[in-house]
Amino acid sequence: MYRYDEFDHAFVSARVEQFKDQVERRLAGELTEEQFRPLRLMNGVYLQLHAYMLRVAVPYGTLSSRQMHKLAHIARRYDRGYGHFTTRQNIQYNWPALKDIPAVLDELASVEMHALQTSGNCIRNVTADHFAGAAADEVGDPRPYAEILRQWSSMHPEFSYLPRKFKIAVTGADRDRAAIQVHDIGLHLKKNESGELGFGVYVGGGQGRTPMVAKKVRDFLPVEDLLTYTTAIVRVYNLNGRRDNKYKARIKILVHETGTEEITRQIETEWQAIKETDLKLPQQDVDAIDAYFAPPNLVQRPEGWSELAAARKADPAFSAWVDQNVTPHKNPDYGVVTISLKPIGGIPGDATDAQMDLVADIAEKFSYDEIRVSHEQNLVLPHVAIADLRIVYDLLLTDGLATANAGLITDIISCPGLDYCALATARSIPVAQRISERFGNPERQADIGELKLKISGCINACGHHHVGHIGILGVEKKGEELYQISLGGSGDEICTIGDITGRGFSSEEIVDAIETIVDRYLEIRTDKEETFLATYRRVGAAPFKDALYSEVANAA
């Protein structure tokens, strides 16, 4: 993985020093909140309901054991013993004191981490496929490009005061695990006919109150043009994006209002003017960054398969975990392990300091020192030998980290909602917990199969509800929490925004309503192979609406 050189170290420590100075001036009353707010946001410090919140960037979701140990240490020393992994591949601490935050940033800097650009109207932490560098279906590792973009976007002089936040995601496989089509820019790394690497470029996707699927503006962009083309896109946006209305300020609105053809023309015109400038990437630089992400030297472990077969036979629970949480690796002796942060009835994405330490230790011994944070709020061990799966499973089991539910209905994405978030209109975590309990039976969830359920506590859609196969949005109506359901959303390569079913459900009704939908799916699917999403795409909303609004109404 990428290692800071002196340049990066000097940059990050200068920023920490600046922020220390700013915090001191704020506490001394030399800066007003109005002056300080943009400064703290630039350093990832929000105010939530109960306390400050610090959002730490995990660039493209990649962590070493050392870094994970540090995150655990921060949770223990400066917070309340846990952290929350988010859909943006970040970690959030919910209770730090403002006066301690400079010290936390120092701690982070000591392991090459920071909280920069996790907030504000700048180019945010660049995200990537969490299976990058490991997945069997990958064309190329997206992380070197995400790293180049991360560097280039750091304190960008032209693009730090954009109309609104700007999110870039990169995927390295045709199977899109980074939800690139709901980002401001989505990059799909692929090969052209002559085998050269480049990007399919998507612009103007996003969630929030006006969800939109990104438009493709270029089918193949050579790697050397990555930064010039991105600059052209962001410049067109910076100059023309709306600034009169915060809710219309994202690039998706500009793309929508301008039209894909015209916006593409503007981008191309701007690009022609800057294509041959200093930002054109020399191959040697790409190679140098690439080298940091060279795959680890995986030892051959062919004995794993026979051991695995025996271990599976002996323990059905282990076998179910392998089926659900282990994904094929490029190297047939290895697997990619998803560590579910969704224990049945638990809080999605939360991990204790002890759990973080445990994962760090396991990664050090059994995953070539690498950990990933997925946008599905899980952790990933990218390189685990098939021969080590059993021991890894046993270790995970010791602290509740071996839930066999990756991709199933209890693998719920949930934003913090009204339990923490100052913008929330309803709680989301308790709804996730109750749904998880309702469907927690292993056989039952396995029978239901792949089903992505996502919950947000307000229209900002941090919980990705628009692209949930089943999405839940919590709103406030007459002082009560009310939950709207949408169906058929998907954030992968066939990206769709879910359709709202109709009137919302109270907190008491919502879990039954979800069960009604799932039961109807089980009745009408052609067979077990037809997933919920496939069924929905075949039959549409009608059968589900029927079930929801006749049965629930009757029951009430």
Partner 1 sequence: MSDIEQPAGELWGREGFREDPYVTAETLEEAGDAPAVILPLGVWLGLTEEIRNASNRKIGVVVAPGESVEPLLPLLDSIPVIALEFPAFSDGRSYSKAELIKNQHHFKGELRAVGDVLIDQVAYMLRTGFDTMKVNHAVTLNRLAGHNLHDVPGYYQPGRGSHTVPGTYSWRRVPGA
Partner 2 sequence: MSVKVLTANRLADGEVVWLGANGEWLEHIDGALIARHAEAVNALEEAGKSAIKSNLVIDVNVIDVEERGTDLFPVRLRERIRQLGPTIRLDLGKQAEKSKAA
Residue 29 as a binder of partner 1 (CB under 8 A): the answer is no
d(CA 109, CA 448): 44
| Sole window of 284-292, 404-412, 506-514, 531-539 interacting with partner 1 (rule: CB under 8 A) | 284-292
Stretch that binds ligand HEM, among 10-18, 25-33, 357-365, 416-424 (CB under 6 A): 416-424
Does 423 bind ligand SF4 (CB under 6 A)? Our answer is yes
Q: Which two tokens stand for residue 348?
A: 């999605």
Q: Phi first, then psi: what are they for 112, rounded to 5°?
A: 60, 45
- In the list 416, 468, 498, 504, the residue contacting ligand SF4 (rule: CB under 6 A) is 416
Half-sphere exposure of 500 (CA within 13 A, CB side): 9
- Asked whether 139 and 190 are in contact (CB, 8 A), the reply is yes
Asked if 46 interacts with ligand HEM (CB under 6 A), we say yes
Contact assessment for residue 59 and residue 128, using Cβ atoms and an 8 Å cutoff = no
Q: Give the interface with partner 2 as residue ranges (CB under 8 A).
A: 26-27, 29, 32-33, 47-52, 80, 95-99, 347, 418-420, 422, 424, 427, 429-430, 433, 476, 479, 481
Site for ligand SF4 in 287-316 (CB under 6 A): none
- Minimum CB–partner distance for residue 545 and partner 2 (Å): 29
Residues 197-202: contacts with CB under 8 Å, at least 24 apart: 197/139, 197/140, 197/223, 198/222, 198/223, 199/145, 199/170, 199/223, 199/226, 201/229, 201/233
> 243 contacts which partner out of partner 2, partner 1, ligand HEM, none, CB within 5 to 8 A by kind?
partner 1
Residues 44 and 65: their CA atoms lie apart, in Å, by 23
Within 163-250, residue ranges assigned H as helices are 226-240
Comparing CA positions, the residue from 255, 177, 165, 252 lying closest to residue 211 is 252
Query: Which CB atom, from 115 or from 462, has the smaller least distance to ligand SF4?
Result: 462
Could you tell me the smallest distance in angstroms from the CB atom of residue 424 to ligand SF4? 3
> Could you say which of partner 1, partner 2, ligand HEM, none residue 191 binds, taking C-beta under 5 to 8 angstroms by partner kind?
none
Distances (CA, A) of 371 to 163, 205, 340, 448: 34, 28, 13, 29
Rounded distance, CA 23 to CA 25, Å? 5
Of ligand HEM, ligand SF4, partner 1, none, which one sits near residue 190, judging by CB under 5 to 8 A according to partner kind?
none
The two tokens of residue 360 are 């760090």
DSSP state of 547: I
Q: Is 462 in the site for ligand HEM (CB under 6 A)?
A: yes
Question: How far is 324 from 61, CA to CA, in rounded Å?
Answer: 21
CA 408 to CA 547: how far, in whole Å? 22
167 touching ligand HEM, by CB under 6 A: yes
C-alpha span between 472 and 451 (Å, rounded): 13
- Minimum CB distance to ligand HEM smaller for 212 or for 386: 212
Residues whose CB is less than 8 angstroms from the CB of residue 272 and which lie 6 or more positions away in sequence, other chains included: none
- DSSP for 276-289, written as a single string: TSTTSPPHHHHHHH
- Which phi and psi angles does 298 have, rounded to 5°? -75, 125
For residue 113, the SS3 value is coil
118 binds ligand HEM (CB under 6 A): no
77, interface contact from ligand HEM, partner 2, partner 1, none, CB < 5-8 Å by kind: none
Q: Per-residue x/- marks for ligand SF4, 447-486, CB under 6 A?
A: ---------xxx-xxxx-----------------------
CB of 279 to ligand HEM, least distance (A): 25
* Interface residue with partner 1, options 158, 261, 447, 546 (CB under 8 A): 158
Q: Which is nearer to ligand HEM, 213 or 339 (CB)?
A: 213
The listed partner (ligand HEM, ligand SF4, partner 2, none) that binds 206, CB under 5 to 8 Å by sort, is: ligand HEM
The contact set with ligand HEM (CB under 6 A) reads 46, 48, 53, 86-88, 92, 164, 167, 206-208, 250, 415-416, 421, 423, 460-462, 464
The contact set with ligand SF4 (CB under 6 A) reads 415-417, 421, 423-424, 456-458, 460-463
